[in-house]
Structure 1
Amino acid sequence: MMKKTALATIVVAAVLAVTVGAPAYADEPTPDSAPAATATPTPSPSADQGAPAEPAAPAAADPAPTADPADPATPTAPADPAPTAEPTPTPATGTAVPGADAAPEAASDADPSLDVMDAAGNHTMGSTIPDSDPASPKQRKAGVVQPFLGVSGILGQDVSGWQENVNWPAQWAAGSRFAYVKATEGTTYFSRNQFAQQYNGSASVGMFRGAYHFANPSTAPGDAAAEARWFVANGGGWSPDGRTLPPLLDIEYGNASQGGTCWGMSAGAMTSWIREFVTTMRSLTGINPAIYTTTNWWNTCTGSNNTFGAYPMFVARYGTNTPGTLPAGWLNWTIWQFQAAGTLAGDQDIFNGDIALLRQYALNGTSMPPTGVFDTATVAKSGPFTVTGWAFDQANVAAAVKVRIEWNTPSGIRTTTVSANASRPDVGAAYPGVGNNHGFTTTAPWAGNGQYRACLTALGVATSGARNLSLGCKAAFVSDAIASAPASKRVAGSDRFETAVATSKASFPTAGVPVAYVASGLDFPDALAAAPAAAKQKGPVLLSTAVSIPQSTLNELKRVKPSRIVVVGGEKAISASAYRQLTGLAASVVRVGGGDRYETSRKLADFAFPSSGGAYVATGWGFADSLAAGPVAAKRGQPLILVDGAKLDAGTSSYLSGRSMRSLTVVGGTSVISGGWASAASAAGFSVTRVGGSDRFETSAKLASTAFPSNGAKNVYLASGLNFPDALVAAAAAGAATKPLMLAVGTCVPRSVGDQFVRLGTTSMQVTGGTTVLNKDVDQLAVCY
C-alpha cells in the first residue's frame, strides 16, 4: 500500500476537482451571524472516485460576519467571459510594463501603512516583507515602478479590500490579464465589502482570477487546517471553468507580537503547518494551491525545505529584472510579484508563460510534469529484477503516462518504456477522481549475482507540453552469501579529524594499543605510507593540522593509551609545536620523516618492516592506489614505498639494493607507474608484479582479489576514492583487522567493486565517512552508470 505521506507532496489533477461555491463576504467580521454559503453545481464523481469532500464550516468559536446587503450574496463567476481581445505577445527580450511612468490610478489603490494593517488584522500580499529581506528590498512608494522586466509573460495584479471599487475595464486596458483577490486572513477576517466587486469584476472583463489567504499561524498554532477551511468557506474555492486560478496561500513574515519572522515556530513546525494547510486545501478543492513567499523567508523559516515543488510558486522579489534564486524545492516560478505599486491597482505581477499556459494554470496543468512514485526494486536469486510504481498526468488523467526505465544489471545497461495503466486502487483512494489505472510493474531478466539498479522517468504527455519527471533510482543486490545489500555500519564524525577518531574507537575499543600514528589531515603525501605501517603494528592513524593537534585527536590518544606515538612527516607536515603537544601521552614519541614524500615512505618502511622480503610500490602523486594497497601490504607483511613513477630514480634504486627486498608489487596502470620503471626494476634483479585496473576503483578491487580468496572476506571496508583522509584511516583500520579496503564514488559503487562483494561472500561492510562524502545510495551498493 502506498504511503499517504509520500503522496501528500504530489499535485492532484485539476480537471476532476470539486467545485466550491463562494459565500457572502464582509470586510469586518462581527460575532452576530454566520456567513451563508451558496454552492455551485458539483460534477458527479466516477464510480471509483467516491463523493467529493464538502468544505468544512468555520469553527463555532470564530466570530461570524453579518450580511452586507450592498454586496451580492455570492460572487459567481461568468461561465467564460470573453475579452474584447487577447493580449499582445510580449517581446522575447523582456516585458515592458505599461504606463511605467504613471502613478496608480487612484489614491485608494495604495496600501496603508503596516501599522494600520496590523491594527485591522488585514494585510495585503507582501505587506510584511521587510527591507532586510535580501531578495526583496521593499519599494512601496506610490508611483515607483519597474519600467522593464528581463522576462516575458502575462501581466496581472493582486488586490485586497484596501483597493476600493477597482476600475476593472481600466485594468484590462492597462494590460492586466489576471488578478488574485484577497479573501481571508487567519481564522477570523474575510473580505466583505470588496471581494465580490474584485472577484466578479475582474472576471466580467475577461480576466483570470483567483482568491488568496494571508496566513496567520499565530492565531491557531498547529491548526493550519482551520485556516484552510476558513479560506474555502469564505471565497477560497475553485471550479474547473478555465478562468478560476488555483487558490493561493500567502505565507510571509510575522511581526514581533506574532513571534517574529517565523511566527515563533521552528523550521520543522513551520513546514508541518504549511503542509497541513496545503493538503487540507487539496482535500477540500481537489487541486494543489499555489504558494506565495520570498526566497529568504522560505529558506529561513522552513530550513530550506525542498518537498513542496509540486505546488505552483508565486515568488516576491522587487527592484530587479528577474525573480532571481527561487526558494528551495522549486525549479521554476509560476507568478512573480515584481513590484509593490505601479500602474495597476495593488501589486504588479507577471505570469511565466503565454495565455494558453495561463489557461492551463487555471486548470492546474501549467506545463507541470506528470506525478508519480517509484515504489520498489527487487531481485531474487535466479529471478527477474522487478520495479513497481505509479504515475499520472496532472492535466489529463485519462492519458496513460509512459515511464522510461534505465536498467543497469550485470549483463549491461539498457532502456525500456512501459505504460502506467495497471490497477492501483491505493492511488485512486489517495487521489479521488484520478482513478485506479495508473500503476506499473515491469521486469528485467536475471543476469547473475551482483548489483542491479533502475532509474525511472515519467514522460510528459506531448499534448500538454509538460516536462518529464524523474522518479529517482533504486538499487538491489544479490549473491550466494546474501539476498540484499550487505549490512552497512557507518563510521563518521563531523569532519575528517572526528571521523579518524570514530574509526579508532570502532577498531580499538579498549585502551593499551602498541602504537598510534599521527599524520597530516590536510595533505596526503607524507601520510600515505602510514596506513600499512599502522596496520602492521596494530594501531590507529589519527589526524592533525600542521600547526596544532586537534583536541579530539588528543582526547583519543589519551583514551587508547598507546605505548608509542609516531608522528609522520617533517615539520612542514606537523610542526614542532604540534609535536610538543604529544609529549607525555605515550612512553615514546618519535618522528619519522624525510626530505620529501618518497624518503618519508622509505623511512617508514624501515621503521615498521625492517626485514621484509618485498614491498608494494605506488605513485606518490595520488592517494587512491596507495591507500587501497595498504591493507593488502600489511596482510603480507610488506611496506608501501612511494615513487615518482616516470623512471627508477637513484634514491629508490639505492634503497632497494641495500635491503633484503627482492619482490615488488607495482600498484596501478602504466599511466601512474610506467613500463620503463618496471623494466628497470626487473633489470636490477627484482621480481616485479603489476596490479592495476582501468581506474582507481577497479585497482582497489583487483588488489582485494590478489590477497583474499573467494568467500574470504565476510566483512569489508569501503571508503571514498575521492577523499584521502577517510581512506587513510580506513586503510589502517582494515589492515589491522586483516580486511580488504575498496573504494567508492560519492553516490555509487562501481561494478568492479560490487563484483568483489559477490566473490568474497561479503555480508557486512564498514563505510567510513558521512553522507556528504558517501551518500546513502552507497549503503545499498547502488551501481554507477
Structure 2
Amino acid sequence: MGVGVRRSAFFTVLAAATVAAGGSVTTSAASAADGPTPPPCPTALGTPSQAVNVAATVASGGAATITAQPATTQQGSLRYHFAFGDGSTADQTSPTVVHHYGYNGSLGLQVTVSGAGDASMTSATCMVFVDGVKNSVHRYAGDDRYLTSAAVSQWVWADASGDTTQRRQAKSVVLASGAGFADALAGVPLAEYRQGPLLLSEPATLTKTTENEIKRILPRGSTVYLLGGTSALAPAVESQLVLDGYTVTRYGGADRYKTAMQIATKGLDNPASVIVATGTGFADALAAGPVATSDDFTVDGKPAAIILSDGIVFPDAETAQYVRSRFVPSSSLTSPEPKGVMAIGGPAYCAVTYAAAPISGKCDAKGMSLLGDHGLNIANDYHGHFYFAVIGGNRYRTAAEVAYYTHHNVSADPALNTPFSDRFGLASGTDFPDALTGGAAMATLHSPILLTARDYFPDGTADALSHGFKPTSGPTYEADIFGGPAAIAPELEQQLHGIYG
C-alpha cells in the first residue's frame, strides 16, 4: 500500500485493542494529543508501508492490549478502517469500535487511517491473541499469507528476550518465498531441526511484517536460512537480514530437487531417514512435513529429509542413490526401529520402487492412487531392503492416511482407528502458503496436519474428522486452523465447533 505525503501538520495515531474473556474486543484509535504514547511490547510487528511501532500485550484469560503508532501528514477529519483478521471489517469516522471474536487464535489486526476525501493513508498492523472463547478450535490467520505466517509464529515462538508464556525459544528462522512453493517443500524438517519457524517473504524484498517477526523472536547474530536461489529470494532480502544483524545461510540448488538435496546434506547433516514426495505439486510434500519430525523417522536428533521425485521417477542418479542409501535392511528392521524410507503418494511410490530395483513396464501412479482410494499403506521388501509407502486416492485422502500411519496404530479402514493425538492442524489443500507455515508449526508440536477444500470437507478429511480424530472417551482435542476465511470457510469452522467445541 503506498503512502501519500502531504506537507502539512504532522500527527501520530494510536490504535489499541482489549480482548476480554468470551472473545469481546474493544479497539480504539486516537491522536497523540488525547493521551500518552502506549509503551512498546515484544510483539511489535510494524506495517508494510512505514516504520511504525505496533505492539500487543496479552494477559491471562485472553485480556490483550494492542497498540499501533502509524504517523502521517494528513489533516482534517479522519476515517478509520479496522480489519480484524477474521474476515470482518469496520469503516467509520469514530476511532473506537467494539468487535467480538468467535474463536481463539492469533489474528492479524490492521488499522488504516486516512484523511476524509484523500487517498493518502497510513496503516498499522498488530497480532491479537484471543484466548477467552470457550472452545477447542483455534484459527491462526492474517489478511495475507505473510501475516498468517507471522500469526502462526506468534503462537508458537517466544520473544527473543524471553517471556512468561510457554512458547518456545527460537534459535533460527527458515525463510521461503511466499510466491511459489518449489524451494520450500523440503523446508519443514529443517525448521524443526534448527529450532525456529518457517516464515514467508515476498521474493524481491524482505516483507516488513516478516522482518519484524524475525526481530521479535530471534536475537541478533542468529542464523536465518534462505530456501532457494536468488530468483526465489533476491539478494536484497539477504542484504536486509545482514543489515539487521543476522547471519544468512542459503540453500539453493539449480532447481527444487537440488535445493531439497542441499537441505538434506547440509541443512540436516545427512539424516538416516528420508521421506519422498513428488516435487511436481505441493500437497503430498506438505503432508510429509510433520511425518519427517516424528519419532519413527528421527535418528540421533535428526528428522528425516524430504526428498523430491520428479513425478514417478527421480530427477537424477544422485537423488535416486541418496534414497537407496537410506533403505533399512530387512534383517535389522524391528519395531520401533526407524523406518528409513517412506514414499508419500502414488508418484513417489513409483519413484522409490524404480530406485529400489528396476522393474519392467511402467509404474502407474494413477493406478496406485486408485488402489489407495480408501487409504493404502505398503511395506515393500526389495532384495532385503524395506521401504514404506502411504497412498490415497487424492491429496486429502493421502494427508489423512499419513496422519493415521505416523501417529497411530494404523488400519487401512479409518472406521477402525481410535483417537490418538490431542491436536491436529487443518489447512487449504488448494494453495500452499498456509499449509507450509502451519505444517512447520505442527511439525514442531509433533502433530499431524489435514488438508481441506474451502467450502466442504473432502471424503478423506471428513473420515479423519468423524473417526480418527473424533473425541470419545479419549483425549481432549485441539483443532488448529491455518488461514483466514478465504482459505477455509467459516461454515467449516462451525462444523469443527460442533465436533470439538
C-alpha separation in 2, matches of 1:624 and 1:267: 37
C-alpha separation in 1, matches of 2:238 and 2:325: 31
- 1:701 aligned to 385, 388, 400, which one? 400
- 2:431 aligned to 723, 727, 739, which one? 723
**How far does residue 755 in structure 1 lie from its aligned partner after superposition?**
2.9
Change in Cα spacing, 1:535 to 1:553, as seen in structure 2 (3 Å) is same
- Secondary structure in 1 matching 2:175: strand
> What does residue 456 of structure 2 align with?
748
Contact 1:627/1:728, CA 8 A, preserved across alignment: yes
> What does residue 480 of structure 2 align with?
766
| AA in 2 matched with 1:708 | H
> What does residue 80 of structure 2 align with?
none
Q: Per-residue CA shift, 1:378-407, capped at 9, x if unaligned?
A: xxxxxxxxxxxxxxxxxxxxxxxxxxxxxx
> What does residue 664 of structure 1 align with?
341
- 1:644 aligned to 310, 315, 328, which one? 310
Contact 1:532/1:735, CA 8 A, preserved across alignment: yes
**How far does residue 780 in structure 1 lie from its aligned partner after superposition?**
3.0
- Secondary structure in 2 matching 1:718: strand
- Stretches of structure 2 that go unaligned for 5 or more consecutive residues are 1-89, 94-133, 161-168, 299-303, 330-339, 359-381, 409-417
Q: Per-residue CA shift, 1:243-284, capped at 9, x if unaligned?
A: xxxxxxxxxxxxxxxxxxxxxxx9999xxxxxxxxxxxxxxx
> What does residue 655 of structure 1 align with?
322
Is residue 673 of structure 1 aligned with residue 372 of structure 2? Answer: no
Change in Cα spacing, 1:576 to 1:692, as seen in structure 2 (3 Å) is same
Change in Cα spacing, 1:681 to 1:500, as seen in structure 2 (3 Å) is same
Contact 2:279/2:310, CA 8 A, preserved across alignment: yes
**How far does residue 581 in structure 1 lie from its aligned partner after superposition?**
0.8
C-alpha separation in 2, matches of 1:597 and 1:545: 18
Greater per-residue strand proportion: 2
> What does residue 54 of structure 1 align with?
none
| AA in 2 matched with 1:713 | S
C-alpha separation in 1, matches of 2:135 and 2:458: 15
Change in Cα spacing, 1:661 to 1:564, as seen in structure 2 (3 Å) is farther
Alignment of 1:345-360 (within 5 A): none
Alignment of 1:238-257 (within 5 A): none
- 2:188 aligned to 531, 546, 562, which one? 531
C-alpha separation in 1, matches of 2:442 and 2:496: 22
- Secondary structure in 2 matching 1:780: helix
- Secondary structure in 1 matching 2:242: coil
C-alpha separation in 1, matches of 2:139 and 2:252: 32
C-alpha separation in 2, matches of 1:565 and 1:721: 28
**How far does residue 750 in structure 1 lie from its aligned partner after superposition?**
2.3
Q: Per-residue CA shift, 1:323-348, capped at 9, x if unaligned?
A: xxxxxxxxxxxxxxxxxxxxxxxxxx
Root-mean-square deviation (CA), in Å? 2.7
Change in Cα spacing, 1:776 to 1:545, as seen in structure 2 (3 Å) is same
Task: Tell me whether 511-520 or 577-586 shows the greater mean CA deviation.
Answer: 577-586
**How far does residue 602 in structure 1 lie from its aligned partner after superposition?**
1.1
Instruction: Normalising by structure 1, report the TM-score.
Output: 0.36
**How far does residue 539 in structure 1 lie from its aligned partner after superposition?**
1.1
| AA in 2 matched with 1:545 | E
Q: How many residues align?
A: 301
Contact 1:536/1:735, CA 8 A, preserved across alignment: no
**How far does residue 650 in structure 1 lie from its aligned partner after superposition?**
1.2
Q: Per-residue CA shift, 1:699-744, capped at 9, x if unaligned?
A: 0100000111243212111100011011100110000011111101
C-alpha separation in 2, matches of 1:659 and 1:676: 14
**How far does residue 768 in structure 1 lie from its aligned partner after superposition?**
0.5
C-alpha separation in 1, matches of 2:279 and 2:493: 30
Is residue 590 of structure 1 aligned with residue 249 of structure 2? Answer: yes
C-alpha separation in 2, matches of 1:639 and 1:664: 10
C-alpha separation in 2, matches of 1:526 and 1:552: 21
- 1:518 aligned to 165, 175, 181, which one? 175
Alignment of 1:542-557 (within 5 A): 542-557=199-214
Contact 1:535/1:736, CA 8 A, preserved across alignment: yes
**How far does residue 585 in structure 1 lie from its aligned partner after superposition?**
4.2
C-alpha separation in 2, matches of 1:664 and 1:625: 15
| AA in 2 matched with 1:514 | K
Is residue 502 of structure 1 aligned with residue 161 of structure 2? Answer: no
Change in Cα spacing, 1:492 to 1:573, as seen in structure 2 (3 Å) is same
Alignment of 1:292-307 (within 5 A): none
Q: Per-residue CA shift, 1:64-120, capped at 9, x if unaligned?
A: xxxxxxxxxxxxxxxxxxxxxxxxxxxxxxxxxxxxxxxxxxxxxxxxxxxxxxxxx
**How far does residue 682 in structure 1 lie from its aligned partner after superposition?**
4.4
Alignment of 1:13-92 (within 5 A): none
C-alpha separation in 1, matches of 2:354 and 2:267: 28
Instruction: Normalising by structure 2, report the TM-score.
Output: 0.56
The one of the two structures with greater contact order (alpha-carbon pairs below 8 A, sep at least 6) is 2
C-alpha separation in 2, matches of 1:715 and 1:574: 33
Is residue 491 of structure 1 aligned with residue 140 of structure 2? Answer: yes
- Secondary structure in 2 matching 1:582: helix
> What does residue 386 of structure 2 align with?
687
Contact 1:744/1:750, CA 8 A, preserved across alignment: yes
| AA in 1 matched with 2:422 | K
| AA in 2 matched with 1:678 | T
**How far does residue 677 in structure 1 lie from its aligned partner after superposition?**
4.6
Alignment of 1:322-401 (within 5 A): none
C-alpha separation in 1, matches of 2:178 and 2:184: 8
**How far does residue 655 in structure 1 lie from its aligned partner after superposition?**
3.0
Contact 2:392/2:401, CA 8 A, preserved across alignment: yes
> What does residue 739 of structure 1 align with?
447
**How far does residue 629 in structure 1 lie from its aligned partner after superposition?**
1.0
**How far does residue 679 in structure 1 lie from its aligned partner after superposition?**
3.7
Change in Cα spacing, 1:782 to 1:487, as seen in structure 2 (3 Å) is closer
Change in Cα spacing, 1:267 to 1:550, as seen in structure 2 (3 Å) is closer
C-alpha separation in 2, matches of 1:668 and 1:780: 30
**How far does residue 579 in structure 1 lie from its aligned partner after superposition?**
1.0
Alignment of 1:451-470 (within 5 A): none
- Secondary structure in 2 matching 1:567: strand
C-alpha separation in 1, matches of 2:433 and 2:292: 19
| AA in 1 matched with 2:255 | D
**How far does residue 657 in structure 1 lie from its aligned partner after superposition?**
5.1
- Secondary structure in 2 matching 1:673: helix
- Secondary structure in 2 matching 1:651: helix
C-alpha separation in 2, matches of 1:589 and 1:267: 41
**How far does residue 633 in structure 1 lie from its aligned partner after superposition?**
1.1
Contact 1:625/1:700, CA 8 A, preserved across alignment: yes
- 1:626 aligned to 273, 285, 301, which one? 285
**How far does residue 545 in structure 1 lie from its aligned partner after superposition?**
1.6
**How far does residue 526 in structure 1 lie from its aligned partner after superposition?**
0.3
**How far does residue 536 in structure 1 lie from its aligned partner after superposition?**
3.2
C-alpha separation in 2, matches of 1:726 and 1:781: 20
- Secondary structure in 1 matching 2:311: coil
Alignment of 1:566-585 (within 5 A): 566-585=225-244
- Stretches of structure 1 that go unaligned for 5 or more consecutive residues are 1-265, 270-484
